[in-house]
Structure formats: C-alpha cells, structure tokens
Amino acid sequence: MDVKMKDVSSKTLMTEGSIWKKMVLFAFPLMLGNLFQQLYNTADSLIVGNFLGSNALAAVSSSSSLIQLLIGFFQGLSIGAGVVISQNFGARNKDGVERAVHTSVAIGLLSGVILTAVGILFAPQILIWMDTPKNVLAESVVYFRIYFWGILGFVMYNVFVGILRAIGDSKHPLYYLMISSVMNVVLDVVFIAVFHMGVGAAALATTLSQFASAFLCLIQLIRTKEDCRVTIKRIRFDREMVRQILGVGIPSGIQNSITAVANVVVQSNINAYGEMAMAGCGAFSKIEGFAFMPIMSFNMAITTFVGQNLGAKEYERTEKGARFGILSTMVLAEIVGIITFIFAPALIAAFDRTPEVIVYGVGRARTEALFFFLLAFSHSVSAVLRGAGKSTVPMMVMVVFWCVIRVAILAVGRVVMPSIQIVYWVYPITWALSTIAFIIYYKKADWIGAYKKREVRQ
C-alpha cells in the first residue's frame, strides 16, 4: 500500500485554490529565472562579441546548436522525472515521490558522465560535419570541449530544479539561478576583459557557474523537510520508477534531440554563408531566447499543474488550467515577438556593430519574430500532453514537422532559391504546420480520458 503524504504545503500544491493564481505565482518566478538563464547564456556572446570580435562570436554561435543536440535527450529525461514526481505529489504518495526523486538523481549522474565523454571525444569531427569555417573551427572546438568538461553541473542543476518544480517550488531555483547568473557575468568579464584569456574562458565561466547553481540546489534538497528531500545513501535506480520516468522521458528526449539535429542542419546552412552570417544569426538566437521565457515558464507551470491535478483526479480543473496556460503563453510570446521585430537593429548591434552582421541578424529577426505565437502554441500543447504522461504524441509531431519537413524544405529550398532567406523562413513554416497538427489532435483526442484508462490499467 502506498504511503500517503501528510500536511502537504498549500503553497506548493496546485490541486487547490484559484487556477490562474496558482499558475501565475508558479510561472512568474520561473519567468524571472528564465530571464537570468538567458542573461547567463547571452553574457558569453555579448562579452565575446564586444571584446574578442566577430570570429570569436561565430565560434561560440557555431557550438550552441551542437550543445543543444547533445543535452536535449537528457533534458527530456528530466522532464520525465518531473512528471512522475508531480503526479505522485498530487496523489499524496510519499513513497512514490521519494523513490522517483532518488531515481532521477541517479539517472542524472549517469547522464552527465555519458555527455561529458561524448562531448569531449567527438567535438572536432561533428563541428567539421557542420561545415564550420576553418578560421573559427579551432576556437569552436576549444569552447565546446571546455563547456562539456562541466556538463555534469548543468545536468544535475536541471535534475534538482526539476524535482523542486515538480512539487510546485519555483522560488528556490530562481534564487540559485540569480546567484549563478551574476557569477557567470562577473567571471566572463574577469577572464575575457581583464585577463584576455580568449573564447575558452567564456565556456569556463559558464561551467563554474553551472556547478555553483547545482551545488546550491543540492544543499536545498538535502536540508528540505518536504517529501522531495534527497538523502545521498538512497540514490539508486528503482526499477519501477526508471520505467515510468523513461516512459515519459525517452519520447521527450528523442523529440529534443531530433529537433536539435534539424537545428544543426539549419546551422550548417547558415555556416555556408560565412562568419558574418554566423555571428548575425547567432546574435538573434540569443535574443530569440527571451521569447522562450514566457513559453518555457508557462510550459513548466502547465506540466506541473496537469501532473499534480491528474494525480489528484481533478480532471475538470486540469482542463481549465491547460486552456489558461496555453492562452497565456501565446499572448506573452507574441508581445515579445512584436518588441523584437521593432527593436531588432539595436538588439543585434548590442552584440556586434559590424554592418554585415546586423543585416543578417535583423533579416532573421524580422522574418521569424511575428510568428512566435505559433511556436508558443506547439510547446504549450506538448506541455499539457507530457503532464498527462502522453509524451509520444508531441514527439511524433515535432519529429515530423520540426525535423523531417524542416530539413526537406532546406534541401529543396537551397536548390530552388539559393538564398539565406530560405533558412529564415523554415522556422515559421514548420511552426505553422505543427500548430495545425496539434489543433486537430487537441480537438479530437480525449487526452484526459486516455489518462484515466492508463491509470486503470496500472
């Protein structure tokens, strides 16, 4: 018989109270955290671009899509862990929460070790396959390898934060991210602007900051009195929890990785236009990250809300919360898109004032920015389905439209219209196609009913 939780904190439990207040109060610290996360990621490019020049900025940009490729799968596993923890937390199953927490930590440790080995060993060859220009290849390899020496810190931070967010705690992750973000910027300035250590120093600053944030999260989880408390001696692989986590996490990880493969192909096409295009598009990708703040914030809130309320069998509340989260995400993302469209020249120039770099960056910004609401819708519906444990559907939609069709459009487009414009347009086109697919599925599929049937089978 399951051990039932007692005296669950109403501050973290999302199965009671006002739906919009619970989701907004959970999402707002996440949005601030994502702001600092983006500043964390953007600091490297800003400081590198201003102090080391366009070639160094191109080296950092060329590594970003490859980094996302390698870590995407393991981030998917963290999503799976968060869903399992939130469902057990909503059901007030203390034993299930404890076993899921310690299993997710064990999976994170193994994942971090594997990522470190893969990133360090295969960096040069993969960057060559991506058509990285020879004049930036050496710096790209240096940045990439140093980054992956510290990837364990990144993986464990995401695992620990996923645990805290699964029980509704979005405040402590914000505090720790703020500390690590400030640390990253300070180290970037010291290493690059003061000691002139080169592009590898940006990766070193990020690595040290990632470990700091992971350590702070671990201390919180060891000291907490909540049921998500981590006890070092209890870290192990629980067979049933591994099965549940992988059942949600593997499709999410495959989706992340395969989508990242398509983005690597996109980056390869950008690389073919030279370092100015790489720098300009790389600067825009950092700006675009700010559009993801409301998307990712409400996605996490949606997944946690859906997971907890389905675990508590609050089905009507689950559906209302899902609708509110999807609408809020779309509105916020589009507001950011409009701002990006209007101020694109000044935003790109903050990274690199080279006229050609600004032209490339603004061209991409003004092609994609007004379509951010489509991106938000696809991600939000995916978040709902993952919270319900149905991660296979978003995986299939994303793989088909954001990978297969995206790559096919590039392959055909470069022959029919050999211009970088086809690279810019491939994103809005595939966002629109995935949105249509999700609208059709969401209207026809009884995803809550499917959860009930799965629960009965278990």
List, for residues 343-388, the tens digit of each pLDDT value.
Answer: 999 999 988 888 899 999 999 999 999 999 999 999 999 989 888 8
Tell me the pLDDT tens digit for each residue of 10-29: 456 778 888 888 888 888 88
Q: Are 172 and 33 in contact (CB under 8 A)?
A: no
- The 3-state secondary structure of the chain, one letter per residue: CCCECCCCCCCCCCCCCCHHHHHHHHHHHHHHHHHHHHHHHHHHHHHHHHHHCHHHHHHHHHHHHHHHHHHHHHHHHHHHHHHHHHHHHHCCEHHHHHHHHHHHHHHHHHHHHHHHHHHHHHHHHHHHHCCCCHHHHHHHHHHHHHHHHCHHHHHHHHHHHHHHHHCCCCHHHHHHHHHHHHHHHHHHHHHHHHCCCCHHHHHHHHHHHHHHHHHHHHHHHHHCCCCCCCCHHHCCCCHHHHHHHHHHHHHHHHHHHHHHHHHHHHHHHHHCCCHHHHHHHHHHHHHHHHHHHHHHHHHHHHHHHHHHHHHCCCHHHHHHHHHHHHHHHHHHHHHHHHHHHHHHHHHHHCCCCCHHHHHHHHHHHHHHHHHHHHHHHHHHHHHHHHHCCCCHHHHHHHHHHHHHHHHHHHHHHHHHCCCCHHHHHHHHHHHHHHHHHHHHHHHHCCHHHHHHHHHHHC
CA distance 415 to 237: 50
Predicted confidence (pLDDT) at residue 264 exceeds the cutoff of 80: no
Predicted confidence (pLDDT) at residue 2 exceeds the cutoff of 50: no
CA distance 342 to 72: 31
| Most confident region among 168-177, 210-219, 247-256 by mean pLDDT | 210-219
Confidence grade of residue 6 (pLDDT, cut at 50, 70, 90): very low
Tell me the pLDDT tens digit for each residue of 139-160: 888 888 888 888 899 889 889 9
Predicted confidence (pLDDT) at residue 9 exceeds the cutoff of 70: no
Name the least confident of 39-53, 304-318, 434-448: 39-53
Predicted confidence (pLDDT) at residue 313 exceeds the cutoff of 80: yes
Residue 4: its pLDDT value, please? 46
Overall residue count recorded for the chain in this entry: 458
CA distance 164 to 86: 10
Confidence grade of residue 452 (pLDDT, cut at 50, 70, 90): low
Residue 1: its pLDDT value, please? 37
The residue assigned the tokens 């995986």 is: 395
Closest CA to 382 of 275, 303, 274: 303
Mean pLDDT of 394-421: 86
Residue 268: its pLDDT value, please? 80
Comparing 111 with 67, the larger pLDDT belongs to 111
> Residue type for 396, please?
M
Comparing 137 with 335, the larger pLDDT belongs to 335
Task: Count other Cβ atoms within 10 Å, centred on residue 114.
Answer: 16
Residue 11: its pLDDT value, please? 53
Residue 334: its pLDDT value, please? 92
Mean pLDDT of 42-59: 72
Q: What's this model's pTM, rounded to 2 decimal places? A: 0.71
Residue 451: its pLDDT value, please? 62
Name the least confident of 34-38, 80-84, 246-250, 276-280: 34-38
* Domain locations along the chain: 19-449
| Most confident region among 138-152, 202-216, 260-274, 425-439 by mean pLDDT | 425-439
Predicted confidence (pLDDT) at residue 216 exceeds the cutoff of 90: yes
Predicted confidence (pLDDT) at residue 296 exceeds the cutoff of 90: no
Mean pLDDT of 232-238: 92
The residue assigned the tokens 């998500």 is: 228
Predicted confidence (pLDDT) at residue 454 exceeds the cutoff of 60: no
Q: What integer best gives the mean pLDDT of the chain?
A: 83
| 177, two tokens | 């991210």
Instruction: Provide the percentage of residues in the chain whose pLDDT is more than 90.
Output: 24
Residue 8: its pLDDT value, please? 45
CA distance 45 to 39: 10
Residue 7: its pLDDT value, please? 45
